[in-house]
Structure 1
């Protein structure tokens, strides 16, 4: 190759023109920077395996450098950084990254929209949410690549929660929309960097966390600083996504775009069984947190409030109304499907 290149620099114009193209225009490795909402311990499960697989398969054609929560930019600035091209791709929910779209309120935990992890891919792939998300993000220069179901939303607290009254005054780290909904029950939503949560619970700055299921509580260390796990949840599955800067996405060859999609879908599948199995195993065999419950008759008040909340959101815009209607139709269909296929 060295000899050939030397020849091309010294040979006549005609010879150089006929031979130069393959060597001189060889494509360099495409390099992306992706930041996840997750800290290092959680990222080991929720994104790193997929990125490692992609990098291994793509080889010299493309490599993605993965960064963890708040490493390059604060999580609340992820969308803007991606839109501007400061980073190339993001793994997050719409809510946490402060996406300026009509669908942002539905990211993360929209109360009681999903009961089980499989609800999310069905809603996106069969009930039309994929098309709505793609359209909304195209308006702001971002490619919505893939949506997946992740863990449920439960309270992990220092003091036991056995009634709605026990929620009053509790300072809780949670998602923006979840916090907006829960505040009517006296919860005080607190926003902090993800990596600061464990210490904030230890120092008393936080009374608890409504961010995840029990699998995540054990994985990231929150089970070490909280004493109780509330079995009632406000959502059975988080809605999270992979996104990319639209221009960066367009620069990637179609074959590698397809590989990205496949690896991201595999990531969603990994999360489904990892969370699902962990939720059961740690409730049964875990030793760090005592399980508590709010009686169904009382928890019905929360579910009724969620339906009112849905209607309030639907009144805000035509797009939001369309998404809420899809949630209503889907939940009605699942309720009719009944046992043994479906509980709820």
Structure 2
């Protein structure tokens, strides 16, 4: 009897094992499917990408467990930065990390990306404005009007300061300086005699050495040291026209829609992780390299003179507000935000 009971139980166990194998079979087969593959291009060159996006993409690829693989390309590696938006619409590239301004996004909000003059003082201003002052909803609305590209979210980077071959100690020293910078930032700085120059990112260092460029107003001091520009410039101006670069993630809409929900969630989590890393990496670097960098001499334009630049930015905001009702709404939000920060006092504003 005991033998019969054993055989009976063994038979039930075997049946259950076969049933379990049958239930699990679809998962086994699914894991062998060809993974989703994206080609993604960042605004950053190789050295900078090691911090601003590569850790994120490496982590995503690992966590995706073979279901999806993102191939990362650097600035201008596949497509010139200024053509990235159109290329994304066509599906030539699947995803992009950049600011809206540099990739010529055909939306009215693009002018507020990158370095919109004096829109932020600290890196935390950017996520605060997007998550608590309504900019997320405004950006989503704007990109919903454009076919083929999905805006995935924004984050903060570093401030915009000058690194130059010759020192800048007054506004007059800006006149005639040929500077590599962002489109909107360059247009604003041209009011003070700066000559904005557009070059492929990888050519900037050589242009500084040959005299084609007098400086860069493309980053803070962390990037100057990280990418090698501190080796070919001599001075760093502590005044900045913006406290943080505003960058975003974008994807071809068809490619994004084809991604399963759990991988969409994973990608958004990886974006959050990258945004967090950049907050503390830049906060550390901007102080660290000023104090211990040793390559760039710090210069400063006196506050009473720099206030002229700030006053001009207020006029510029009003000019941009006239572009569209949505632009006017954003400018109103920025003014309200600045007013709130000033009323809050230290440490928000001094």
Task: Say which is worse superposed, 220-229 or 130-139, in terms of deviation.
Answer: 130-139
Match of 1:327 in 2: 334
Match of 1:167 in 2: 174
3-state DSSP of counterpart to 2:284: helix
| Aligned: 1:109 with 2:115 | yes
| Aligned: 1:230 with 2:243 | no
Match of 2:299 in 1: 292
- TM-score normalised over the length of structure 2: 0.91
1:59 Cα deviation after fit: 1.7
Tell me which of 316, 327, 332 is aligned to 2:323: 316
1:165-203, CA deviations, whole angstroms, 9 ceiling, x for partnerless residues? Answer: 000000000000001000010000000000000000100
For residues 241-320 of structure 1, what are the structure 2 equivalents within 5 Å? Answer: 241-320=248-327
Match of 1:202 in 2: 209
| Aligned: 1:126 with 2:102 | no
3-state DSSP of counterpart to 2:123: coil
Counterpart Cα distance in 1 of 2:129 and 2:135: 6
Counterpart Cα distance in 2 of 1:240 and 1:309: 21
Counterpart Cα distance in 2 of 1:343 and 1:333: 9
Tell me which of 26, 47, 52 is aligned to 1:41: 47
1:134 Cα deviation after fit: 1.0
Tell me which of 84, 93, 106 is aligned to 1:100: 106
Counterpart Cα distance in 2 of 1:258 and 1:152: 29
Match of 1:88 in 2: 94
8 Å Cα contact 1:146-1:265 kept in structure 2 = no
Counterpart Cα distance in 2 of 1:151 and 1:220: 14
| Aligned: 1:136 with 2:142 | yes
3-state DSSP of counterpart to 2:108: coil
Match of 2:77 in 1: 71
Counterpart Cα distance in 2 of 1:24 and 1:144: 33
3-state DSSP of counterpart to 1:331: helix
Counterpart Cα distance in 2 of 1:204 and 1:24: 60
3-state DSSP of counterpart to 2:66: helix
For structure 2, list consecutive stretches of 5 or more residues without a partner in the other structure. Answer: 1-21
- TM-score normalised over the length of structure 1: 0.92
Counterpart Cα distance in 2 of 1:331 and 1:191: 31
Counterpart Cα distance in 2 of 1:24 and 1:203: 58
3-state DSSP of counterpart to 1:235: coil
Tell me which of 30, 55, 61 is aligned to 2:36: 30
3-state DSSP of counterpart to 1:59: coil
Counterpart Cα distance in 1 of 2:349 and 2:214: 32
Match of 2:13 in 1: none
For residues 14-25 of structure 1, what are the structure 2 equivalents within 5 Å? Answer: 22=26
1:221-276, CA deviations, whole angstroms, 9 ceiling, x for partnerless residues? Answer: 00000000000000000000111111111100111101000001110111111011
Runs of 4+ off more than 6 Å:
23-26
Counterpart Cα distance in 1 of 2:191 and 2:153: 33
Match of 1:219 in 2: 226
Tell me which of 152, 155, 159 is aligned to 1:152: 159
Alignment RMSD: 1.5
Q: How many residues align?
A: 325
Match of 1:9 in 2: none
